[in-house]
Amino acid sequence: MGRKIAFLGIALSVVGLGAGGAYFFWQETRVPIPRLALSALGSFSGLLVIFGVLMGIVCFLPREWRAKSLWAFIAVGAGIGLFTGVGLGFLTWRLTASRYEAVEPRKNPTNEAPANLVKNGEFELDTEFWGTGYLEEFIRNGRHPEEEQRLPYVVTEPKGSKTKTISSGQSDPNKSYGLGVASFRFDHKSSKGKDRTGSLSQRINGLIPHKFYVITFQVSAKDAADHSFFVTPKRNWKNRKYIPAGTYDWQLIIHDFAAEEDHIDLRFVAEAPCTVWIDDVTLTEKVK
């Protein structure tokens, strides 16, 4: 019996320490976890460690004492463990307060419009500040003169393909949203296929990891195929927002995302036949 109690105590202590270790793992990785769940984790680990240690002590008592004191130790262990668990849960809640100020969207107490992190989002300065991102860096550093001449627009083709991707992009002073003076026009003729894209990007710095941001832009389209054009803040392009298919005048597109690093490449991508204009591009911190 004593051996079973000892094993039970050790097992509970290990589980409790494991739960505490999970909390410290979160402190290092900052993986988004609900704050209430973290507080419950702190309570759970504290209760199990204290309860498990007291249960382990029981096994060292003489057999006659153990029989008489087992339930008393269980009651005392549960009581102390519960008290410690509640205390650790409250402490966890307090310790995570500053961390969650950066994770949870905050209200804007001044009612001021959040700052737009995009430079020249209305293309009034032609394409200045555009043509920056990891693909563009690869082109400039790799000495690809043909591709570099097309910058800020980037055209991709499958490796070893003998067929050129037919895609072009440039600022268009003949079309703009509202009272603007220009927009950016994409003309993509190639059929949809792997690595057959045309894109425009701007490297955005100054983001805070785990904060929420919102991308907005105005779009106008002519003969846009289904899933032909999207915006993405992710380097792997998996987090994307497609524009509607068809022909239409200016429409507002909105896309929310959580920042993973202190910078992103805000990239607009054409991957199927379409003629698309974008204007009034913004990226701001999301506020309630």
The domain ranges of the chain are 2-103, 134-285
Strand order in the sheet with 263-270: 154-156, 197-205, 263-270, 229-232, 241-242
Does residue 139 contact residue 151 with C-beta atoms inside 8 Å?
yes
CATH 2.60.40.10 describes domain 134-285:
no
Matching residue, tokens 């032909």: 228
Kindly state the helix (H) or strand (E) to which residue 241 belongs, with its residue range: strand 241-242
Encoded tokens for 52: 């498990």
Residue by residue, pLDDT tens for the chain (288 residues) are 545 554 555 555 555 555 555 555 544 444 455 555 655 655 566 666 666 666 666 666 666 655 555 566 565 555 655 555 555 555 655 555 544 444 444 455 556 678 999 999 999 999 999 999 999 999 999 877 888 999 999 999 998 888 999 999 999 999 999 999 999 999 999 999 999 999 999 999 999 999 999 999 999 999 999 999 999 999 999 999 999 999 999 999 999 999 999 999 999 999 999 999 999 999 999 987
- Looking at residue 114, its pLDDT comes to 83
**Total Cβ atoms within 10 A of residue 191:** 13
In sequence order, what are the residues at sequence separation of 6 or more whose Cβ sits closer than 8 angstroms to the Cβ of residue 67? none
Kindly state the helix (H) or strand (E) to which residue 94 belongs, with its residue range: helix 63-95
Tell whether pTM > 0.85.
Answer: no
Encoded tokens for 285: 């911190």
- Looking at residue 49, its pLDDT comes to 61
- Looking at residue 204, its pLDDT comes to 97
